[in-house]
Structure 1
Amino acid sequence: MRRFPPVRFSRLNRFPPPARFAITGTLLLGLSACGTTTAPGPAAPASVAAAAPSAATFGGTDLAWVEITIAMDEQLLPLLDLVPGKAADQRLVQLSTQVRDLHERELGDLRALHDEARLPAENPHKGMPMPGMVTPEQVAEAAAARGAAFDDLVVRRLTAHLEQGVTLAESERKAGVEPRTRALAEQVLDSRRTYLSLLTSFS
């Protein structure tokens, strides 16, 4: 049985709600189907977010990317939680565990940037219908599946999540202005591409 080696990655509102939604719409319409303001390995280096000075300048793309990526990562986790007890292919268990650990570390950096940017506690993008956003209905569908059918559902949902992550991270890399947010997007871009490559072995 092929085993996947651990993939190692370093860690790294002032806009009113209508403006934030407009920025988000631009981000998504420009790169997926769906103004600047002040505001995986066990031995991973120190977080990018933690190493930064207290003051930072976040642009609209930065804010939208942070919020959307938090929502996407958080909504993927319940699906990954099902894998150890239900997957027929143990390679999928190993891969999903690595992806989950990576996302947990990633969420720590994203939440630090979220708090520094003074974004609202309630994420307006939670549950947003968009490519790659795992829904509670999709998690329930996976929970009811068995064997190879379960594995196929997880691989398809995870692939869509990673592909959308690439699209959005590329947007942040091109249009973002806050240095640590852009650096984290680079890490996200690398990790998503790596795991997409590994997922091809399940097709």
Structure 2
Amino acid sequence: MKPAPTRALPLALPLALLLSLALLLGGCSEPSSASGTPTASGSPSLPGATATDTGWIQLVIPMDDQAEQLLALAVDRASAPDLATWAAASSKQHRTELSLLRPLLRRMGLPGTNVHEGHDMPGMVTEADLARGRRLTGPAFDRFVLRQLRDHLSHSRRVSRSAARSAGSGEVRRLAARIADTRADQLKALPGGRGESDQGH
């Protein structure tokens, strides 16, 4: 049965609740690497990793991957030059993050599949969003992209800021802090204004 949409949840949803929802929807549990020992797959462990680390990584990877697809679309189709320029820079930053997140996932002995496929999670650019973006043109496309990406950046920043405080692995905490800082910069630079509205939360 298809999970009920969850995008209507409050923007300031606490990390513990959001990650619990992510773990529940993904059907995943705390990895054996949380004890600092090698996983059953034989991959190296990620010392100190807990279910919080797992939930954050398995949430942020599909969030980044889906958002990057919309950003790439904006590079080619945005009618406003400043949006296309911003999207190109943000797309590159998302790809860099993915290149750092996926090795952590492998070190935890977790599969690279998207455990949230089909889930309408807060801040997640969905396949339906991508399909709609491909149909829109001109200013309507720009407005749609800005709305979807502002939502993505705000949620991604919040969960990453919380993971930077509560994750068990030092590597995860440092990467989460880096991503949270990047999101703050991306929101400030977001064309069309209102990007600063996420500040202070």
- 1:90 matches 2:81: yes
Could you tell me which of 172, 176, 179 is aligned with 2:163? 172
1:62 Cα deviation after fit: 0.8
The Cα offsets for residues 105-135 of structure 1, whole Å up to 9 and x where unpaired, read as: 1001100100001112323123321111001
TM superposition score normalised by structure 1:
0.73
**Equivalenced residues, count:** 164
Q: Which structure exhibits the higher relative contact order, with contacts defined as CA atoms closer than 8 Å and separated by 6 or more residues?
A: 1
- 1:99 matches 2:97: no
CA contact (8 A) 2:53 2:172 kept: yes
Q: 1:107 to 1:177 in 2, by over 3 A?
A: same
Q: Distance in 1 between matches of 2:50 and 2:157?
A: 20
SS at match of 1:58: coil
Q: Distance in 2 between matches of 1:116 and 1:157?
A: 31
Amino acid at match of 1:80: L
SS at match of 1:194: helix
Could you tell me which of 36, 39, 44 is aligned with 1:38? 36
Amino acid at match of 2:157: V
Q: 1:56 to 1:29 in 2, by over 3 A?
A: closer
Match of 1:78 in 2: 69
Match of 1:44 in 2: none
Match of 1:123 in 2: 114
Structure 1's unaligned 5+ residue stretches are: 1-24, 40-52
Match of 1:50 in 2: none
Match of 2:18 in 1: 28
Q: CA RMSD in A?
A: 2.4
CA contact (8 A) 1:27 1:171 kept: no
Match of 1:8 in 2: none
CA contact (8 A) 2:47 2:169 kept: yes
CA contact (8 A) 2:19 2:55 kept: no
CA contact (8 A) 2:123 2:152 kept: yes
Q: 1:137 to 1:28 in 2, by over 3 A?
A: same
Q: How does 1:50-69 map to 2 (within 5 A)?
A: 56-69=47-60
Q: Distance in 2 between matches of 1:190 and 1:135?
A: 24
Amino acid at match of 2:139: A
SS at match of 1:172: helix
Match of 2:26 in 1: none
1:166 Cα deviation after fit: 1.1
Q: 1:112 to 1:199 in 2, by over 3 A?
A: same
Q: Distance in 2 between matches of 1:30 and 1:141?
A: 29
Q: Distance in 2 between matches of 1:142 and 1:55?
A: 38
Q: Distance in 2 between matches of 1:183 and 1:111?
A: 15
1:170 Cα deviation after fit: 1.8
Could you tell me which of 134, 142, 154 is aligned with 2:145? 154
Structure 2's unaligned 5+ residue stretches are: 1-14, 22-29, 38-43, 195-201
